[in-house]
A = this chain, B = another copy of it.
Amino acid sequence: MHEFPMAMIFPSNRVRRTPFWDGVEAAKPLALTVYNRMLLPAAFGDPQDEAEHLKRAVQVWDVAAERQVQVRGPDAAALVQKITPRDLSGLGLDRCAYIPVTDARGGMINDPVALRVDEETWWISIADSDLRLWVDAIATMGRYDVEVTEPDVSPLAIQGPLAEELCARVFGDAVRDLRFFHVTRVAFAGHAHVIARSGYSKQGGFEVYVEGAHRGMPIWNALMEAGADLDVRAGGPSTVERVESGLLSWGNDMDAGTDPFEAGLGRFVHLDRVTDCIGHAALSAKKAFIDAHGLSRAIKPVAIAGPLPPSDRRWPVTLDGARVGQVTTAIWSRAMDTGVAIGTIDRPAWGRDVTVHTQDGPRAATVRETFWT
């Protein structure tokens, strides 16, 4: 671990603990972050060891900080469709969907996963911005007949190649038949919890939407006990693995200055079918420009020669001395034997050798076309 910053997190109620905190604390996290005003454990050991373990075994992640925006009422489906250009008209009760959410300028303000809990109830599982305020303001101003709340629901992720075996032991064999981004309910201690085959890694796994904080530790403990022979460990989203795999992080790799096309999310933008979503005009103009001229810039993988300092500020990228973009996340990968990074890069530099300017000095780098795994 790079030791940045050296200070502790000041205790307060504003930064909330999770229903799984007793389990997290027992596993002795080395580093935390704050996400949606909630503690999110980010490292329990060396990042290289943790990434390797994730790729061969199974980890339980406290991702309660992925808070839910609950939209309930007769107009719930209409409101959720209003906030995204992705066509959700065919989304069944047994599915969840990754949805770009843009402002009127077409900039990404969140990239959540949406699912329908029942006919009139949706959960939007959010990245680190207060999407409840956005959705609630639209509901208020648009007079949608819904209630927008943050329910007492906390996702717990089980990730890794042995996640299916572990979840089958704890929640029953039905999870084995669940397909990617499909949703069902599984009984645990008398309550039927929503579970999806999903998660913020490419190693496979599930996310359980734990309803009721008091139900958090019993599920955590059951997973840890049932997985002892599977080498189950407490973990958290792995920067090493997610960058190798090309999973973007809102707030790091994209923000309101990024449009879905630059972010590689164009396949989720259905402007012909979704004609009334917020940002439609701006996205249509961007799409027309891209169809005529191609992208001016895009989020790309960048291989960087080490050693790398902590990725705690944006690193300028230059080609022949001129700025062509910035690196937004970077970390050493022992498995790939290179620094792996994500950056927003102007088109002239795609596929080119470039220089990345870290706080410790310049590094030779290459803008790649594909992520590593």
Contacts and interface: CB of A to CB of B under 8 A. Distances in A.
**How many chain copies does the complex carry?**
2
A37 B133 contact: no
A238 B184 CA distance: 48
Interface string A22-58: 0001000111111101010111000000000000000
A103 B10 contact: no
Interface string A132-163: 01101110111000000000000000000000
A14 to B, nearest CB: 3
Contacts of A129: 37, 130, 133
Interface stretch (A85-93, A172-180, A310-318): A310-318
Interface string A240-264: 0000000001111000000000000
A6 interface: yes
A373 to B, nearest CB: 21
Interface residues of A, number: 57
A141 B135 CA distance: 11
A3 B11 CA distance: 8
Given A30-B7, A137-B137, A329 B131 contact: no
A33 B32 contact: no
B13 A328 contact: yes
A5 interface: yes
A9 interface: yes
Given A1-B8, A31-B7, A103 B13 contact: no
A42 B35 CA distance: 18
A140 B11 CA distance: 37
Contacts of A109: 133
Contacts of A3: 8
Given A109-B133, A133-B129, A137-B133, A10 B32 contact: yes
Contact of A33 (B15, B25, B138): B15
A352 interface: no
A104 interface: yes
A104 B142 CA distance: 12
A356 B264 CA distance: 52
A10 B134 CA distance: 27
Contact of A140 (B12, B133, B278): B278
Q: Which of A4, A32, A133, A278 has the most CB of B within 10 A?
A: A133
Contacts of A33: 9-10, 12, 14-15, 34
A2 interface: yes
Contacts of A25: 5
Nearest to A139: B104
Contact of A31 (B10, B31, B37, B133): B10
Given A2-B11, A12-B33, 20 more contacts: A1-B8, A4-B11, A5-B8, A5-B11, A5-B29, A9-B32, A9-B33, A9-B34, A11-B311, A12-B311, A12-B312, A13-B313, A13-B314, A14-B128, A33-B34, A104-B140, A129-B133, A130-B133, A131-B133, A134-B136
